[in-house]
Amino acid sequence: MLVNARNTSLFFSLTLSISLNAALPELSSLEPLEFDEASQRLVARGDARLDFDHTRIRADRITYYQEYSLADADGNVVISRDGGRLLADRLSYDGQQNVFSVDLLRTGQWPYYVTGVSAGGTTEDTTINGATLYYGAPSQFGLSASSNEVRYISNETEQYVSMDGATFRLGTVPFFYIPSYRHYLAGSPYMVDLNAGSDSELGYYLQTTTLFPVNSWLRAGANLDVYSQRGVLAGPTAQYTYNTSSQRIVGALSTGAIHDNGSQSERGLDAFDNPIDAERGFAEWRHKHHIGERFTGTASISYWSDSEVTRDFRDDIYSDNERPDSFAEAVYAGDNYLISAFGRFDPNQFQTVQERSPEIRFDLLPIPIFNTGAYHRASASYVHLSEDFGDSAPLLTVEGESDRFDLTYRIERPFLLTDWLTLKPLAGAWFTQYENQQLDPGFFTPPATLNADSFSRDIYELGFDLEARAYASYPTVNKTWGIDGLRHFVRPVLRYRYFSDPDDINEIATIDREVFDLQRPLLDLSDLRNVDQIADTHLVRLGVENLFQTRAQGYGSRTLAALNFYQDILFEKSLRYDGDQEDTFNATWVELVLNPAPWLKFDLASRFKTESLMLEELRTRTTIQSGEVWELGLSTDLLNQRIDQYRLDFIYRINERYAFLSDVNFDADTGEFTKIKLGLRTRIGSTWELVYAITFREDASRESDVEFQLQLRLASGE
């Protein structure tokens, strides 16, 4: 029904928001105009038109009284303004009082439509009698609400529709009645999402998520699921958006709790191989708060009773966030500095989290040093770190903990050697003081103990960036690819970095450690997050960055392609992720992005073992679409001797109502299709979107091998 806040212009033709006196009206018709000089009355018949200030009134007959700015229109009345229309049997308008009335009206703009026996009022307060409001065009299965009286209110702060005695209907069948109902046109839309199906793990199930507007900034509802083999899952949901001239707040909450009737073998084990309890649930909260232009607050809290609860009952949440993280941050932005407070928490019992409670930080952004041409930046922070291994390693009885004080400083001075060559020497330092350290000796391999609970460390950084720039333009024209001229930017780069040896073996409770990450390593000392495990670094990174652009239609440029090459040369080597020693010519990265036309996009990121030219990692994504008819996507994910997977997703729109969907995952290591999902999407009227789907899985650890789904959604108004 009233589900899209952008359509506040629905009532424009009910509330002719300008006076007829605001502009000289123009009256015309097929038949000659009749003019009564005594009464100052004009009468137009036969496709009569009254035009004024971007508004047109058409009718079989229009009578206009010039002295009183009164207009009457009878028969097939059509009011047009700003692309919208109102149809009525009769219209009366008093331009001096700005009061109007209409009979037998019909109007709307997607997704709002309204009919009424009569309507009248002012531009700020309109009453519709015998009204029915529809979401989507009226249809057999459309949603509507009817009331003897609907009132539209518009003022400086809000716009809303109120109904006395609202009856909600699905098609012609009433299903809900409410004595009083109000919908804020600037508020959030309705949300109805139903998902039914069956599999061997859950049995027959029905999953529902609903959200209903409560006021202009809040909509609330519930997750309510029924599983024939597991029980009932229920929990409140909410979304809120609050805007004023001084602040903006946006957030969402989704929860669910269930007494799982499955046996212990069906519930299985969590990520730490602990039995999953029958009382299960989850809560997901996201929050963002802006105050003025300076302050930003962010919170993301994920509570799961066990590592598999969303995977079992709400796989849409699990697929977006397999390893939940909970944190909160407040940031104040000064003119050239940031002050922040950050906390990271562990509300769950199935993962090991490096908690920060809290981290207080001051960052001085790069600023010039007088007129020397040099820039410097700095940061200072305090953080209390803790890490509990009790769930993952019960034999580790001592919790990891430390209080850490950090101070970083960096100075750099760019030199423009030529118009196309820049040299930027740089130097930096990182000073750290550890207090109140403790860590279980069994954490180290081989076992070791901290020498003291207090430790001071300093690391120094030296380096430079050498960058060249060049470009060329070509009068290339290709209508097929939409190319109107071609411009090529090329930027060769050489980056050198040296970090002094921190020499901190067995001196630090290593809580902020290195994590498994195959991205290009960060080069700047102050950007590193593995603060407690910074290694001696001495390397050179060579790179060539290419950008190809053409003129965009209208204004500006459009990127056709980007091709980047990087090579790391190590003078200090350590162990790789697979345990082997790093090579001097450690890794070559090749990154490619192609977007020559709106219907084609290709992304590639790859990493080679340079000395043997062995491909170690490859990630690609290709998307091809043919207008609005079909769309094909192919993804690859290769990690040498570990991962070799492919995904194909395809959408084919059979017609305006039906579309075929498919999603296929293939594991080349096992030679098996790990997941095949086939579906048919259709629309029921203009209100509902229905998806039929069947999913086949191979060797899934928790999901059913075969799953049937029937998903029903309230169609979006976008």
pLDDT in tens, 212-260: 877 778 889 999 999 999 999 999 999 998 888 899 999 999 999 999 9
What's residue 18's pLDDT? 36
Nearest-angstrom CA–CA distance, 405 and 654:
62
Give pLDDT tens digits for 658-709.
999 999 999 998 899 999 999 999 988 777 889 999 999 988 888 888 999 9
Nearest-angstrom CA–CA distance, 351 and 254:
21
Nearest-angstrom CA–CA distance, 656 and 654:
7
3-state DSSP of 437-504: EECCHHHCCCCCCCCCCCEEEEEEEEEEEEEECEEEEEEEEECCCCEEEEEEEEEEEEEEEEECCCCC
54-63, 225-234, 257-266, 540-549: range with lowest mean pLDDT: 54-63
Beta pairing class for 537-551 and 34-36:
unpaired
What's residue 718's pLDDT? 45
Whether 550 contacts 560, CB under 8 Å: yes
Phi, psi torsion values for 75, nearest 5 degrees: 80, 115
| pTM for the predicted model, two decimal places | 0.80
What's residue 478's pLDDT? 87
User: pLDDT band for position 393 (50/70/90)?
Assistant: low
Q: Examine the pLDDT at 133 and tell me if it is beyond 90.
A: no
Beta pairing class for 337-345 and 326-333:
antiparallel
Average pLDDT over residues 82-97: 78
User: pLDDT band for position 83 (50/70/90)?
Assistant: low
User: Which domains are seen in the chain, by residue range?
Assistant: 8-184 (2.60.450.10), 352-386+401-436+444-502+509-605 (no CATH)
User: pLDDT band for position 714 (50/70/90)?
Assistant: confident
Phi, psi torsion values for 318, nearest 5 degrees: -65, -40
Name the percent of the chain lying above pLDDT 90: 46
User: pLDDT band for position 20 (50/70/90)?
Assistant: very low
Q: Examine the pLDDT at 467 and tell me if it is beyond 50.
A: yes
Q: Examine the pLDDT at 445 and tell me if it is beyond 70.
A: no
Nearest-angstrom CA–CA distance, 496 and 351:
38
* Token pair of 155 as six digits: 């003022």
Average pLDDT over residues 411-422: 96
Half-sphere exposure in the Cβ direction for 222 (13 Å, CA)? 7
SS3 392: coil
Which residue matches tokens 């059509």? 78
439-461 burial: b if 16+ Cβ within 10 Å, else e: bbeebeeeeeebeeeebebebeb
What's residue 226's pLDDT? 96
Q: Examine the pLDDT at 160 and tell me if it is beyond 90.
A: no
Beta pairing class for 125-135 and 112-122:
antiparallel
Whether 650 contacts 662, CB under 8 Å: yes
Give pLDDT tens digits for 571-598.
987 777 666 777 888 889 999 999 988 8
Q: Examine the pLDDT at 717 and tell me if it is beyond 60.
A: no
Q: Examine the pLDDT at 490 and tell me if it is beyond 80.
A: yes
Q: Examine the pLDDT at 384 and tell me if it is beyond 80.
A: yes
